[in-house]
Amino acid sequence: MSLEAILRTNRVVPVVVLPSVEKAVPLARALIKGGVQTMEITLRTTAGLAAIEAVAKEVPEITVGAGTVTTPQQYASAVSAGAKFIVSPGLTPALAEAARAHSVAFLPGVITPSEVIMAMQEGFNLLKFFPASLFGGHGVLKQYASVFPQVKFCPTGGIDQQNASAYLALPNVVAVGGSWLTPKDAIEDEDWKQIRTIAQNSLGSILTPIAWG
């Protein structure tokens, strides 16, 4: 499955920070019950890689990706753990080379026009726009649609249930990513029912008004 196909499955991707491996599988199952079929587990904690591996093995019905990947070594480790896509907050020549060395799709991060052009020169036309809310958000992406018509985006950073629909209505936005679907306190309390409910409500309220392209 292509990266765009993965992201378009729900058009909403939970960005997950896990404090422990043990919470990964029940969290993934709660998201599936809520209708979410894709999740990004970040490598911001030491539990990240093991959590990806656990979800890939025990909850194969969800497509799990690795986020906050910043080195080729992390890229390779995430692929070995079972990640189906790789997400980075930025892009370096080394990361671009790592992406070419693996069959697992890569979503590099950009903000400025120069970074978009450099990503295009490296062969990437589907990009993460991060951190969206701090760098113009919806307004910038609306301008990028005419400046870079061949490029599509997945904005993250400051995206929530209230503003996600506005982003998704843009013609150059494939999906949005956000942590609102998996609140830190709900994960810590193992309140999987709450996470399932948030997922159901988010998909219902965000995607119903959106015309799917």
Q: How far apart are CA 51 and CA 65, in angstroms?
A: 11
Beta bridge partners of 81: none
Tokens linked to 134? 């701090």
State the Rg of the chain over Cα: 16
Query: In the chain, where are the structural domains located?
Result: 3-198
Q: How far apart are CA 85 and CA 103, in angstroms?
A: 9
Tens digit of each residue's pLDDT, the chain (213 residues): 899 999 999 999 999 999 999 999 999 999 999 999 999 999 999 999 999 999 999 999 999 999 999 999 999 999 999 999 999 999 999 999 999 999 999 999 999 999 999 999 999 999 999 999 999 999 999 999 999 999 999 999 999 999 999 999 999 999 999 999 999 999 999 999 999 999 999 998 887 655 444
Q: Catalytic residue numbers?
A: 40, 128
Apex 58 CA angle, 52 and 64, nearest 5: 35
CATH architecture of 3-198: Alpha-Beta Barrel (3.20)
Whether the CB-CB separation of 137 and 157 falls below 8 Å is answered with no
- The strand pair at 105-107 and 176-178 is best described as unpaired
The alpha carbon of residue 124 and the mean position of all alpha carbons in its chain are separated, in whole angstroms, by 16
The torsion angles phi and psi of 61, rounded to 5 degrees, stand at: -75, -10
Adjacency order of strands within the sheet including 109-110:
109-110, 126-129, 152-155
Place of tokens 């999740």: 39
Q: Which of 69, 32, 26, 30 is nearest to 49 (CA)?
A: 69
